[in-house]
Amino acid sequence: MRRAPVLAACLAVVGLVASAAPGAAATVDRIAGTNQYETAIAVSQRTVRDPALSSRVAVLVSGDDAADVLAAPAVAINNGTDFENGNVSAPILMIPTGQGLTRQVEAELRRLELQTLYILGGTNKVSRAAQDQARAFVPTVERIAGADRYETAVKVSQRYATPGGAVVVTTGESPTEALPGVKAAGGTPLLLTRKDSLPAATANELKRLRPTRVVVVGGTGVVSTAVRRAVEAAATGAVVTRIGGADRYATDLAVTQSSDNEPYVVVLTSGETWQNAVVASAFSVSDDVAGTRLLTKRDCVPSASVDYITSRQLAVTVVGGPGNVSDAAANLTRC
């Protein structure tokens, strides 16, 4: 069965990371390519080893413009494959803004033997040329896009969410600050806001959803008290709470700690860039991973996160190369 999101209670694999430091995780491996595009392919290859056993669905987004990308994990998770022993999220692949499919991405899309490809964002983000290329070998290619990132998130919510249940609201202005909220949502609705004003599209979707619970993710420096009040006004009757820490790393850890799920693996990604963390957010909740995604700095891991990992003796999978997460960080060197 599908693992609950936080709110609900291999060619490109670079072996084991050597020279473990004292207190390091018992097992560390790294999934990485030379850039964000190749890393996404590597994660896809780890996620879908046999296309015949997959949902034959993938998600395609821009790899250098985050405007419409934050909702991608929700699409991937909602289009995963349910087996008797669990759910495997659909892979997320990336291409440069405004360009066609790269040779490597086209090869991976063909390997996946897709029936459906979802493109997130307008043609100014993922080009019409890329869409047309994909249509040559994928039976159904569908674009989900709004006028801006807020409307795109709403369109994803409208596709998959019915009234009632939980909703996550987080910033749409800073993709790295939004990463904890992306993780918190999992496959449940993720709606975006400006720091000091709630977009009309977001407010209207909250009214449609009539949620029983809304979690605002991020401190008041990311989502203001005024916006929280606006969320309360739009989501009449919902219990509205906030998960926030001193910075994105503390907030991200707090999201993990709020979950009823007990992970077996920590998927460690950079909190200084967004690309690998977005891909890893969908990958980590697959039942064959049974993990939680945590953010790290390049050369060290926040001390509280190290304590969380080592106290549970969790294995660590790093998503991203040493330029994003160094071997020192992979081996849990403390900040």
Residue 21 one-letter amino acid: A
Q: E-strand spans in 145-290? A: 166-171, 190-193, 213-217, 239-243, 265-270
Q: Which helix (H) or strand (E) covers residue 153, if one does?
A: helix 149-160
Q: Is the pLDDT of residue 170 over 90?
A: yes
Q: Is the model's pLDDT at 9 over the cut of 70?
A: no
* Phi, psi dihedral angles at 247 (to 5 degrees): -155, 180
Which of the four pLDDT bands, split at 50, 70 and 90, describes residue 287? low
Q: How confident is the model at residue 300 (pLDDT cuts 50, 70, 90)?
A: very high
- Is 0.85 surpassed by the pTM of this model? yes
d(CA 278, CA 54): 20
Helix (H/G/I), strand (E/B), else coil: 326: coil
Mean pLDDT, the chain, whole residue set: 91
Q: What is the mean pLDDT of residues 305-313?
A: 96
pLDDT score at 289 = 78
Compute the distance between CA of residue 87 and CA of residue 284 in angstroms, rounded to an integer. Answer: 11
Q: Where are the beta strands (DSSP E) in 96-152?
A: 116-120, 140-144
Q: Among residues 104, 200, 26, 234, which one has the least CA distance to residue 216? A: 234
- Separation between Cα atoms, residue 232 and residue 225, nearest integer Å: 11
Q: If pLDDT is split at 50, 70 and 90, which confidence band does 262 have?
A: confident
Give the pLDDT mean for 199-209. Answer: 99
Report the alpha-carbon distance of residue 179 to residue 171 in Å, rounded: 9
Q: What are the Cα distances from residue 101, in Å, to 58, 121, 144, 170?
A: 14, 15, 18, 31
Residue 87, H or E segment: strand 86-88
Note the pLDDT tens digit of each residue in 110-139: 999 999 999 999 999 999 999 999 999 999
Look at strands 86-88 and 81-83 and give their pairing.
antiparallel
Residue 121 half-sphere exposure toward CB, CA atoms < 13 A: 27
Q: Which helix (H) or strand (E) holds 13?
A: strand 13-16
Residue 215 has pLDDT above 80, yes or no: yes
Average pLDDT over residues 241-269: 95
End-to-end CA distance of the chain: 37
Longest dimension (CA), the chain: 54
d(CA 164, CA 208): 9
Answer whether residue 285 shows pLDDT above 90: no
Residue 81 has a pLDDT of 78
Distance CA 185, CA 217 (A): 10
Nearest alpha carbon to residue 276 among 135, 182, 210: 182
147: its two tokens: 């006028």
Q: What pLDDT, on the 0 to 100 scale, is given for residue 27?
A: 64
Strand partners, 316: 28, 266
Q: Is 223 or 86 the better-scoring residue by pLDDT?
A: 223
Q: Is 15 exposed, middle or buried (0-12, 13-18, 19+ CB in 10 A)?
A: exposed
pLDDT number for residue 290 = 78
- The DSSP secondary-structure symbol of 57 reads E
Euclidean distance between CA atoms 256 and 162, whole angstroms? 25
Contacts of 158 (CB under 8 A, 6+ apart): 205, 208
